[in-house]
Amino acid sequence: MHILDAHLHLWDPAVLDYGWLSGDLDRTFGPRELEHALAGMSDDRAFIFMQADARPDQALAEVDWVASLPLPVRGFIAFAALEQGDAVAEHLAALSSRPGVVGVRRLLQGEAPGFALTPDFLRGAELAAAHGLVFDACVRGEAQLRDVAALADELPQLSIVLDHLGKPVVGSAEAPADPSAGGWSRSIRDLAERPNLVCKVSGLPGESDGAFSAAQFEPFLDVALEAFGAERLLYASDWPASFPGDAVAGYGAWERIVREWIASRGIDAGAVLRTNAERVYGLDAT
């Protein structure tokens, strides 16, 4: 099977500046490290690179660096400071001139609620849509999930991908959280009513307290499936960010959980593992 991992990070602190790196992630993650993580995995696969929050003025350099690496990267999601409004137009034009740039991301999870609904941010997002760029929304909490819904309503022409199922609280392998508790599942169902929104099946290991398990994640995956349907779910690894303790073993463990869940639910594996991402990001089918 050909797999398209729709959310792969790569970074090298010797090449670009990443002020957020710390702990186990504060080192290089490039082709050699990825090769180790994929050892023993026989499927053919390619990747969509997700910007790794290098210094903002290095956004174009980040795309160029990853494009130079010997990896099957089919698309790039680059950083764009959409809150700059009309001032981001030149940057978006430069990104669009780079082969393979299919989307942009401005991390929202650390911003106050309402950040993505300011007039300038809406204008920047409108310009991104005019360039045919998808917006990846990485948020946390019910307030920010409501903001994503409002953004989708304000700009129906903007294709939005919700990263990591909105980062729900998943508990631990020993004490899984209940997705029906609190407002996460309600927010996910509300978001799914917007036709310009899809959801990435990714990131849950990063929300776990250490070790993780299929039983811990499957109830959350089931909520996403019920809400979005299999045709609006995209598989991704979020490597290595979701696996700070063991980036080598984590990749395969997460993918096995997702693939076994897909098989047990009778889902079209090719759609979730590849073709949905091709459609959403406008990539040629393989």
Q: Are 4 and 272 in contact (CB under 8 A)?
A: no
Portion of the chain with pLDDT greater than 90, in percent = 95
Domains belonging to the chain, first-starting first, are 2-280 (3.20.20.140)
168: cis peptide before it, omega within 30°? no
**3-class secondary-structure state, position 272:** helix
pLDDT of residue 182: 87
Confidence class of residue 122 from pLDDT cuts 50, 70 and 90? very high
| Residue (of 9, 11, 115) closest to 55 by Cα position | 11
Confidence check: pLDDT of 135 > 80: yes
**3-class secondary-structure state, position 159:** coil
The strands making up 134-137's β-sheet, listed across from edge to edge, are 2-8, 44-50, 73-79, 101-105, 134-137, 160-162, 197-201, 233-235
Confidence check: pLDDT of 162 > 80: yes
What are the pLDDT digits (tens) for 43-57? Answer: 899 999 999 999 999
Average pLDDT of span 230-252? 96
Rounded Cα distance, 223 and 66, in Å: 34
Q: Model's pTM, two decimal places?
A: 0.97
What are the pLDDT digits (tens) for 57-75? Answer: 999 999 999 999 999 999 9
Confidence check: pLDDT of 210 > 90: no
Confidence check: pLDDT of 223 > 80: yes
